[in-house]
Amino acid sequence: MESVQNIKQRFEIIGNDPKLNRAIEKAIQVAPTDISVLVTGESGVGKESIPKIIHALSHRKHGKYIAVNCGAIPEGTIDSELFGHEKGSFTGATATREGYFEVANGGTIFLDEVGELPLTTQVRLLRVLENGEFIKVGSSQVQKTNVRIVAATNVNMFEAIEKGRFREDLYYRLSTVEIHLPSLRDRKEDIHLLFRKFASDFAHKYKMPPIKLSDEAVNFLQKYRWSGNIRQLRNVAEQISVLETNRDISAFTLQSYLPVEGTNLPTVVGTKKTESDFSTERDILYKVLFDMKSDLNDLKKLTLELMKNGSKVQDINPSLIQKVYGSKDDSAFFDNQTRTEVIPTHTFAEQEEFNDDDNENYLDAETVEEEETLKIEAKELELIKKALERNKGKRKAAADELGISERTLYRKIKQFDL
């Protein structure tokens, strides 16, 4: 049995993390057998190395090794790719085609991103795992194959099973032995080793001196999250190797090549609402409706009281005005023939143009008898005349005494032709 160190050198695996070493040890141990293996880990951690190790150390090493990316094959053609098809079985099938399981007979098939397989294909794969049988698309003849299956996924398989996206029986057939590869952020001591290896490779490739990181840059490199794992680290090393003329890389320079943590990946937001969420929204809606009803009733009371008193706003219950407007000092009254409306004084100061069309935005008071309306109008006219006489025609003083704005008084003077 080969040692872990020899396997690392043979397959160019960099790192001394205990979790990485354990994964390689398991691959070495299961290689001589024919049991199925499931390799798990995040995207970019190097899962494709494990099936290569298993195939190279197995008795199938002289057979074919085929790697299939299940997530890259369209759902409509994946059965044909894996199991083959007969001529005329579907549009475009101009000839009989052998599938991967037929071609790899006696060898190893690596099914990458196996969690992306359609459910119908999962049923076919389960049959291959159980008794080595498969049927080509468009055929009724059962064929036999002798292949070893090594699968890999970055999907949470238990969550996929719970949501009905992956068959539970297939999962247990695939994962006779499960090998987990740690993420790069869980191998902090290996990050700088990998970066140096990549920097050296790119320096040789592009025929330029290798880049070197400062101590601060190394520290930043090890603390960064590396959501894309080894693939992202390799990409950054290549960018810096090509673009930077200064081969001594500082932490600031390194940071400029990395996305801010937390912004390089989309955030998943749950959209499922619980019963308590709906209850809270319903309570809020009820409260808003009740508040609106209360405000409407208060406004109607204030309007009716104003119509009955036929006098200044100051004669009305101040608490009622304050309840409606929040401050009794910001209120004035305005009577327009059969309709009486309460308007804050500052409204007229802010609006240079105000006409009868604006009245449509206010609540109509309850219908009043024509005779009562005329009495109110006469009373208002009398009050305005008295205020003007006492203040010797000074509109500002008269308006203050009446408790209305000077602009409103000016309009009243024009309305009554005083």
Domains and CATH numbers, the chain: 4-182 (3.40.50.300), 186-256 (1.10.8.60), 292-416 (no CATH)
Q: Kind and range of the H or E element at 170? A: helix 168-174
The answer to whether the beta carbons of residues 354 and 362 sit under 8 Å apart is no
Read off the pLDDT of residues 375-408 as tens digits, 9 standing for 90 and up: 677 777 788 888 888 888 888 888 888 788 887 8
Q: Quick one: 80 exposed, middle or buried, by C-beta within 10 A (0-12, 13-18, 19+)?
A: buried
Read off the pLDDT of residues 111-130 as tens digits, 9 standing for 90 and up: 999 999 999 999 999 999 99
User: What span, in angstroms and rounded, lies between the C-alpha atoms of 179 and 197?
Assistant: 25
Read off the pLDDT of residues 300-314 as tens digits, 9 standing for 90 and up: 777 777 776 655 555
| Range of weakest confidence among 217-221, 260-264, 414-418 | 260-264
Which one, of 26, 20, 11, 117, lies nearest residue 68 by Cα?
117
Judging by DSSP bridges, how do beta strands 331-336 and 339-344 pair with one another? antiparallel
135 or 415, higher pLDDT = 135
pLDDT at 184: 95
User: What span, in angstroms and rounded, lies between the C-alpha atoms of 125 and 56?
Assistant: 23
**Rounded to two decimals, what is the model's pTM?**
0.62
3-state helix, strand, coil in the chain (%, to 5): 55, 10, 35
